[in-house]
Structure 1
């Protein structure tokens, strides 16, 4: 039986960052910019851009009738709290084309899955949707820039906890701080003396825990026995170890080393 992954792959991180819940910037070939843009990705990993028809970005995306335009979408991660490590930054390049008719209607539904903004109701009048397939995907993480195969990017899935990561961390820290400290301490023997370990990131595969005071701190990754599907699945997984009066269950997480 193949072992379960212990952390998100570069392709999964790229899909997570580009999903549409983080602010993005578009760079258009031969045009002024950069441009702040609302974006999303559909199930096939294609990038959707929601653009006001009277904006500079709209003008930059109309080089000629029926023509496609070279675009780079830049999306940096926004860590859930001060001191949390960032996942990195993704750049996705491709050739954008405007959508009309049935394609625009379907793209609006796909966009609404991520961001159900009311401006989608005005697509075809005050707003337009442009779409491009990823021709090149680059991920900056850990001080290096990785080139990701577009095919791997397309089949990867965004992390289901990322949209609510901050809420999860705040909730766990407020409601279960003593139990979390007890759980972390059982797995983190090298933590700084007198400084409780702190939960700083969480994803479908596990948790990142900070060791030591903010600034010179180190981090370690604690891995779930299986990837979680959503927030409710995470609650079911952690409930036995966070329930008051219940003995910590070592099977809830295991350490895989420094993050």
Structure 2
């Protein structure tokens, strides 16, 4: 098992990676703070004193502005492969009143910030439902069905992937190396040939192994989809011993 293209797009646009907004028929790119709500709709938190707010103001009698959110994955460790780029588009509308308050709660659930208390004064909240989604990797664009996008879930490990990998390397390197060798059927060898985990998601781990300059990759599946870091800790506890992947000890 591995993440579907729709799940990857939902993961990338969830709100924990930097995003850029392109506006139709208007030059320039805009850095934005964004999240997606439980239905996959994009929320933008924008300072009222910015170039983006007037750019998001509809023109010529329109009630919304066409926009594209562009998010590029940032690999958690050097040399790890990127998940690619997600581009989702829709019609952006400003939220006011009760709709803005409800959207602020959705935003805070992903990225809590005190600036949400100033929505309506110093900040504006904008939202668009995703009308079109694309996933690009290796220069190959792929269209994602909007229904599949809306029904997909972001990976629950993505936000903590870098810290999880760092913890496994710093505190469990020997046990993880032994475990990975057994899973891959590798004999013992020099330290620079040792297998190591490059990426991790709810379905499994991407492992690199072999001599420097000629390393290969293999994917090890978990057998079931994980629900979050605590679930990963429980899964790896027999491998790592009493100390879990999150650093907790057994009570």
Q: TM-score, normalised by structure 1?
A: 0.88
Instruction: Give matches, 1:1-259, under 5 Å.
Output: 6-64=1-59, 67-189=63-185, 194=190, 195-213=193-211, 216-243=214-241
Give me the whole-angstrom Cα distance separating, in 1, the residues matched to 2:231 and 2:13: 24
CA contact (8 A) 1:93 1:136 kept: yes
Deviations 1:87-112 (A, max 9, x none): 11100011000000110000111011
Which sits farther off after the overlay, 28-37 or 147-156? Answer: 28-37
Q: CA deviation at 1:86?
A: 0.7
In structure 2, distance between residues paired with 1:109 and 1:140:
31
Query: How many Å apart are 1:144 and its aligned residue?
Result: 1.9
- 8 A contact 1:211–1:217 mirrored in 2: yes
1:36 CA drift (Å): 0.4
Farther off after superposition, 69-78 or 27-36: 27-36
Which structure 1 segments of 5+ residues have no match? Answer: 1-5, 245-259
Root-mean-square deviation over aligned CA pairs:
1.7
Aligned to 1:249: none
In the alignment, the residues of structure 1 paired with residue 208 and residue 194 of structure 2 have an alpha-carbon distance, to the nearest angstrom, of 9
TM-score (norm 2): 0.91
In the TM superposition, what whole-angstrom CA distance separates every residue of 1:39-92 from its partner, at most 9, and x where no partner exists? Answer: 000011000011111211111100347720000000000111111111111000
Check conservation: 2:181, 2:188, Cα contact below 8 A.
no
Distance 1:170 1:36, change over 3 A: same
